[in-house]
Structure 1
Amino acid sequence: MRGHVFRTRCDIEVLAHLLEEDPAAGVLANLNGQFACALYDLRTERLLLARDHFGIAPLFCTTAVGDTFLFGSEIKAILEHPAVGREVDLLGLDQIPTFPGLVSPRTMFRNILSLEPGHLLEVNAGSIRKREYWDLVYPNAAEPQPKRLRLRRA
């Protein structure tokens, strides 16, 4: 990364510099490892939230507080806000005994969502845009070859 001056030894600083070079966040698809991050660009006034390819690191958010956008790596951080309700999402609650974990974007709270793996959120004044930046590509399964039976005369 030529021309960049690093001030810390923190991984997120590397990501911040990468996003300076690629503001469209295409660089995220090339990252390897677990992460959940939030980066605010002072120049564009854009908040970018992203979650790793497989969703190992959690990232939760809500817009249920008027025009305030809240996010955190744990739901309990969002629940600290006095205006965030604790209404249970019955479908999310049903997923707990049904699946090994909750299926994103659902959580067990009605107005709190989990950012899906391989997705990012771009939050600007008055708008929130979610998009997928990475997806697991499954190769097409080869067509099964019919078995040819040979009949022998006995």
Structure 2
Amino acid sequence: MHQNLAVFIRYFRWLLDSMGNTIGNQFLQLSLQRALLREVHPDIRQVSGELDSDKHIVRLRFEYDGQPSPLAKESYSCAATEIIADFPEPWQLNEQHVSVPSPASLSALTLIAYRRQEHVHAAEQFIQADVNSRPGLIQTLAVKTWTY
């Protein structure tokens, strides 16, 4: 099994070098999802990434609900190391760990590998608090929240 995975990774490294950004984004998506297996912690809201082909940089952004626990941050740093190990030599890693308490908006990079399902009622409470804080707005507000 490990031998097949090694052949697969070598093949995609070759594709990444020879075919540019489209294959690179697909490879990054696969690499992100593989590295996140068994690494998702309750305090993570979103994991995203993107390639900068001109500068040979892999950017990864880990967005947490509040400050991440040391264990979670270490796990995601290990996942980032696994991801950059899939890329050939000139590529470098830009790893971002960001605190974005719910229900604040998330700021994804180009590819989203993981997004936590948020509670709809939390978003509705946030909107209702905003409506209540501004006199003169219509107090009845129909809100539909979609979570992806």
**Structure with bigger RCO (C-alpha 8 Å, 6+ apart):** 2
Q: TM-score, normalised by structure 1?
A: 0.26
Q: TM-score, normalised by structure 2?
A: 0.27
Larger Rg over CA atoms: 1
- Relative to its length, the structure with more helix (as a share) is 2
